[in-house]
Copies of this chain bind each other. A is one copy, B any other.
Amino acid sequence: MSQYQAPLRDMRFNIEEVFDFTSHYASFSQGREASPDIVTAVLESAAEFAQEVLAPLDAVGDKIGCTWHDGEVTTPPGFKEAYAQYIANGWTTLAMPTELDGQGLPASLAGFCMEIMCSANHAWTMYPGLSMGGIQTIAAHADDDLKRRYLPNLIAGRWSATMCLTEAHCGSDLGLLRTRATPTADGSYRISGSKIFISSGEHDLTDNIVHIVLARLPDAPPGIKGISLFLVPKFMVDEKGQRGARNTVRCGSIEHKMGIHGNSTCVINFDEATGYLISPPHKGMSCMFTFINESRMGVAQQALAQIEVSHQTALRYAHDRVQFRGSVRSNPEAAADPIIVHPDIRRMLLTQRAFAEGGRALSYFLAMQTDRERYSDDAQVRETAEALLSLLTPVAKGFLSEVSVEATSYGVQVLGGHGYVREWGQEQHFRDARITSIYEGTSGIQGLDLLGRKILGSRGKALEPFLLLVGGFCQQHPDGPYTAQLQKLVQQWTALTGELGVKALQNPDEINAAAYDYLMFSGYTVMAWTWAQAALVADTALQNNPSEKDAAFYRNKLVTARFYFERLLPRTLALASSMRAGVATLPEFDPLD
């Protein structure tokens, strides 16, 4: 069974040593309360809740799963009590503004806590996780009346939110969606249609569920430009924000999935349900992206959270399990040595660690940008942050979710047959992690978003803020441990981008043919930047007479950084070669028989 311990030392490393969140928090009003002491206290408190309440429910959630009966969903034993404790402890209000009865702490800090909870229990954490996106969407787009009626209970966690996009015939291609919204005399709408794959769509944790729904108005143009965004509550809500009669929204069934069994994945049927328009007519997609982008960052975090917990179990097992002799007998009195003495076991462990810690660094960097975009008074700062988020969200989501499959698979492999059985939880992490490259936009979609829409769509301009950052780092630290390698890599990346741009002018299919490899190349490049920074910090810290415990931490950082640069980064050679082969290697083929 998982004995997850929140990686507080690595979190502190990113917060204090790599990214200087202390200065960052001091730079805007919603950050002022986030003193180092408060940050530490919040993270320790999240760790305690995750380790003691959520982690023990992870296996039971998987084993028992959600059950559906006559439109009602029962979550696994203990989920409801854990959620009650979560809201009683004020976790939902942590990063909400004080004027909405929130605690006024920055969004990034709430995000760090979500990583911890997600490692402990991915399926459970999806319930409150989705509400955060729903709250942001309502706060950004709904009118004051809806905000007044819905936000207080959502923020308090008494109600939860969902995002209703997918229909049976349309997943990636939302332009095909058919759910209809018909205006009524009182200004509300009648929503009719059926949505599928709705995470947390129905459950017993909260008194009400607020669905954020994409649907078409009667006069909508076809395709993606004819979609509007609606708020559709499970229970009607009166003027005072009190829950009223049941709306005609029903959960038709739940899916039997490979993983995340503790989260209900629902068919939600809207049968002339009452809803409220929250986007301008036909402009629903751009409003929905408030939710989608927040969710994509959340998925990136889920991916690294799964790698982290899988790594912890594999590492512990590798220290305990004895099998064969190493070249040095670390266990001379026994018949065999702990398997961590074998380099091939360390190769698997270091692969996990490089992705978990590299992913965490990227996630923290992006969390800082989210704060800036949301809170900064300086328009220039907001704009740069938004540009970085726009570029790096598909990279973080696509790349981390893809490598989470490899890394959690190593979590199984280190344990051998013991990894393939339920007991140790490793196979659950592998199954749970597998969803991350599918939901909130598949890796193919992330690749297209990155290369097609953002980079080539801006003729490369979208890369600039990131290239400036990396260029600045390299200039400032010309002798940093990995500066030269980073510089060379970024040159290759920009050269490849240019080549693809030229090819795409001749044949737009070249974008689709390269998108996945380009996404992964970009991921390895961006992560190289985070590892170059981490190695520089660790290298410097080691020269400043740290405690033995800190020194061990920094030495491990340098070991992992070296492993990343020398054993994982060479994959960019393969990716570059593969994508250069182009669309000619992906022709239409004859159907077989």
Q: Which of B173, B176, B552, B571 contacts A590 (CB 8 A)?
A: B552
Knowing A172-B416, A586-B350, the reply to whether A509 touches B323 (Cβ < 8 A) is no
Tell me whether A434 and B409 are in contact (CB under 8 A). yes
Tell me whether B430 and A258 are in contact (CB under 8 A). yes
Knowing A336-B173, A570-B573, the reply to whether A420 touches B258 (Cβ < 8 A) is yes
Tell me whether A567 and B585 are in contact (CB under 8 A). yes
Chain B residues with CB under 8 Å of A248's CB are: none
Q: Which of B322, B566, B574, B590 contacts A556 (CB 8 A)?
A: B590
A32 beta carbon closer than 8 Å to chain B: no
Report A299 CB to chain B, min CB distance, Å.
Answer: 13
Tell me whether A438 and B416 are in contact (CB under 8 A). yes
Report A588 CB to chain B, min CB distance, Å.
Answer: 7
Chain B residues with CB under 8 Å of A416's CB are: 171-172, 438, 442
Report A135 CB to chain B, min CB distance, Å.
Answer: 25
Tell me whether B431 and A586 are in contact (CB under 8 A). no
Chain B residues with CB under 8 Å of A568's CB are: 578
Tell me whether A176 and B335 are in contact (CB under 8 A). yes
Chain B residues with CB under 8 Å of A443's CB are: 413
A400 beta carbon closer than 8 Å to chain B: no
A453 beta carbon closer than 8 Å to chain B: no
Q: Which of A538-593 contact B (CB under 8 A)?
A: 549, 552-553, 555-556, 559-560, 562-563, 566-568, 570-574, 577-578, 581, 583, 585-593
Knowing A434-B412, A590-B556, the reply to whether A422 touches B257 (Cβ < 8 A) is yes
A459 beta carbon closer than 8 Å to chain B: no
Q: Which of A299-341 contact B (CB under 8 A)?
A: 315, 319, 322-324, 327, 335-336, 340-341
A437 beta carbon closer than 8 Å to chain B: yes
When chains A and B are docked, how far (Å) is the Cα of A457 from the Cα of B38? 60
Chain B residues with CB under 8 Å of A172's CB are: 323-324, 416
Chain B residues with CB under 8 Å of A352's CB are: none
Chain B residues with CB under 8 Å of A343's CB are: 509, 512-513, 583, 586
Knowing A567-B585, A588-B341, the reply to whether A336 touches B176 (Cβ < 8 A) is yes
Tell me whether A438 and B409 are in contact (CB under 8 A). no
Report A70 CB to chain B, min CB distance, Å.
Answer: 21
Tell me whether B173 and A323 are in contact (CB under 8 A). yes
Chain B residues with CB under 8 Å of A409's CB are: 405, 434
Tell me whether A342 and B512 are in contact (CB under 8 A). yes
Tell me whether A413 and B427 are in contact (CB under 8 A). no
Report A118 CB to chain B, min CB distance, Å.
Answer: 18
Chain B residues with CB under 8 Å of A265's CB are: 421
Chain B residues with CB under 8 Å of A488's CB are: none
When chains A and B are docked, how far (Å) is the Cα of A515 from the Cα of B591? 39
Q: Which of A488-540 contact B (CB under 8 A)?
A: 507-509, 512-513, 515-516
Tell me whether B5 and A593 are in contact (CB under 8 A). yes
Knowing A327-B509, A343-B513, the reply to whether A438 touches B417 (Cβ < 8 A) is yes
Chain B residues with CB under 8 Å of A319's CB are: 591
Q: Which of B171, B340, B512 contacts A344 (CB 8 A)?
A: B512
When chains A and B are docked, how far (Å) is the Cα of A319 from the Cα of B589? 11
Tell me whether A344 and B444 are in contact (CB under 8 A). yes
Chain B residues with CB under 8 Å of A420's CB are: 257-259, 434-435, 438
Q: Which of B427, B553, B573, B585 contacts A563 (CB 8 A)?
A: B585
Tell me whether A593 and B9 are in contact (CB under 8 A). yes
A79 beta carbon closer than 8 Å to chain B: no
Knowing A324-B173, A416-B172, A421-B255, the reply to whether A562 touches B574 (Cβ < 8 A) is no
Q: Besides the contacts A420-B438, A571-B571, what 6 more A-B pairs have beta carbons closer than 8 Å?
A: A257-B421, A342-B444, A344-B448, A346-B589, A409-B434, A555-B590
List the 3 closest A-B pairs by CB distance, nearest first. Answer: A570-B577, A552-B590, A258-B427
Chain A contact residues, CB within 8 Å of chain B: 5, 9, 166, 169-173, 175-176, 196-197, 222, 255-259, 265, 315, 319, 322-324, 327, 335-336, 340-347, 350, 405, 409, 412-413, 416-423, 427, 430-431, 434-435, 437-439, 442-444, 447-448, 507-509, 512-513, 515-516, 549, 552-553, 555-556, 559-560, 562-563, 566-568, 570-574, 577-578, 581, 583, 585-593
- Could you list some 8 contacts between A and B, CB below 8 A? A5-B593, A170-B323, A343-B509, A345-B444, A347-B513, A409-B434, A556-B589, A567-B578
